[in-house]
Chain A
């Protein structure tokens, strides 16, 4: 391996990719914090939403911004619906149950998408076209710039939401202590549905922004979801900033690794998970929960 790499370019590409991982990881952590369920369906709900966006863009010829917002709304409702219809009725006395059920959900979504849209690989319409920006020797494509912009806006909005709105504070209270939050008059059910809705919408954003880079087919989010998982776990499943940090970190590693040993990108993600967790079982910024008997 030589160290003679285009570091600046890899860093910018990695940060763009990492922003997308971070968004999905953020969704996973959000759902985990509010509902105590780690969802293995995050990638597939995102994929499904991206197909909805594709249909809106091609069949209905909507402008990208409109389709983007409509898809986020769809994903939000979809996530809330999943919580209402499926997860609310599953006993969470063991950690196994939610894992198994969300794996089941992801399979159903995968099959359904294959049924509706088929397995042919499609190209997703480019949201932005135009000449790339140049920063010295580093090239930033319009798409990457859009990714940075969207991530920044979403993160700011979410930060404000959790800091300043009643609902946001209520969600944090639920994450902190469910029983106490319930005693304060917060509806746990509504917060669970909201958490699922928001988390799923975040995944949908990733899907819509990564589809123009990669491709569109039912398997498109498989690798991305694994990276997002790795990001969430590395950052700490209980920490929202940790998810962002983990995502960016993974994006950069992925971008450099993709340049050197492209075949091993998943393996590197796995090795990273194990290494970080052995050192810090709660992730980089997470708390390691101590259980009571």
Chain B
């Protein structure tokens, strides 16, 4: 145990601290005066749900190099599927969300098939069209999706555990639920990107032809990447629907797809941690901007800021925040350890070369 702590403990420490922070956050918020913990936790839950989408999108764009400008479409599919399954079929929340993720993944797989033949700009346009088509289809099929007014009055999220059932009533309960889902999906994503599947994704991103020459099955891995990232967006959509207790087609605009894109660009493409931090940061930024007293027209300000973040990140931080963190870490690791030993080194070198 002591040995384990000494060798692995150092690496595990940040995770343990992170987990502790997640657990005590509601208690801390409750102590701060003038803060409504419920509302803050609701916002944090929203940020965590967006983070799930961002991690999935990061696998697709950052690791596999397949752009999507329509992830709000998958998010919408997940949200509608879980809402319909709980409302119309009365399925339990857990089953509905998992099924919603599967439906979204299946559609992601199907969209991955034409994507096999599309590259770069063509794929961007096709996915943009997909993102626009989904809410339109929801309005069109109004008899069971509720049309443009959407679906409302979703049941509370609940988790049956053997004899008794946990019901997520308050914002705090839901926060723990969202955090748990995010933690599980983050670990899963990290494992995927470091597995042979993840290496195949990166090989495809760097050069499709070279990857194929090395024996990477393009059909299999490209569709897998699409399905996986759609699974994440679908599960997140299900959580979103139940967080808000209702959805409408207007929740899933192109702007939301661009939000997701901005999260991973800001966080750093090709980094799970980057996607996570980008999602949290952007959600809070969005909320902070609505609170600025000087701004009466929030939407314009937010759109301009979003655009500026995209352009400035690409121009000045091509690897996003994750890249900044990496270079800081490297510099820290390469810092001069301590003065005395350096002087000794120099003396030693001088002696060696015969210089006095």
* B301 cross-chain contacts in A, Cβ below 8 A: 111
Stretch among B8-16, B49-57, B132-140, B236-244 lining the A interface: B132-140
Given the contacts A108-B308, A281-B118, A97 and B125 also touching, CB distance less than 8 Å: no
Judge whether A46 is part of the interface by a CB distance below 8 angstroms.
Answer: no
Judge whether A264 is part of the interface by a CB distance below 8 angstroms.
Answer: yes
Stretch among B28-36, B79-87, B215-223, B311-319 lining the A interface: B311-319
* B306 cross-chain contacts in A, Cβ below 8 A: 104, 107
**In the complex, A90→B265 CA distance in Å?**
14
Interface size class on chain A is 35 or more
Tell me if A95 and B120 are in contact (CB < 8 A). yes
Tell me if A104 and B311 are in contact (CB < 8 A). yes
* A292 cross-chain contacts in B, Cβ below 8 A: 209
**In the complex, A169→B133 CA distance in Å?**
40
Tell me if A270 and B130 are in contact (CB < 8 A). yes
- From B125, B128, B132, B311, A101 is in contact (CB under 8 Å) with B311
Q: Tell me the nearest residue of chain A to B302, going by C-beta.
A: A111
Tell me if A233 and B125 are in contact (CB < 8 A). yes
Tell me if A103 and B69 are in contact (CB < 8 A). yes
**In the complex, A277→B124 CA distance in Å?**
13
**In the complex, A291→B208 CA distance in Å?**
9
Given the contacts A97-B314, A101-B311, A274-B114, A266 and B304 also touching, CB distance less than 8 Å: no
- 4 closest A-B pairs by beta carbon, nearest first, are A270-B129, A104-B310, A107-B307, A95-B120
**In the complex, A97→B124 CA distance in Å?**
12
- From B137, B210, B304, A293 is in contact (CB under 8 Å) with B210
**A70-108 toward B: CB 8 Å interface, digit per residue (1/0)?**
000000000000000010011100111101110111111
Judge whether A173 is part of the interface by a CB distance below 8 angstroms.
Answer: no
- From B118, B269, B304, B310, A103 is in contact (CB under 8 Å) with B310
Tell me if A278 and B261 are in contact (CB < 8 A). no
- From B69, B121, B258, B318, A107 is in contact (CB under 8 Å) with B258
Nearest CB of A to B140, in Å: 5
Judge whether A124 is part of the interface by a CB distance below 8 angstroms.
Answer: no
Given the contacts A112-B304, A269-B129, A270-B130, A278 and B310 also touching, CB distance less than 8 Å: no
Tell me if A106 and B307 are in contact (CB < 8 A). yes
Q: Tell me the nearest residue of chain B to A290, going by C-beta.
A: B209
**A93-136 toward B: CB 8 Å interface, digit per residue (1/0)?**
01111011101111111111011000000000000000000000
Tell me if B300 and A114 are in contact (CB < 8 A). yes
Judge whether A226 is part of the interface by a CB distance below 8 angstroms.
Answer: yes
Tell me if B303 and A101 are in contact (CB < 8 A). no
Tell me if B315 and A230 are in contact (CB < 8 A). no
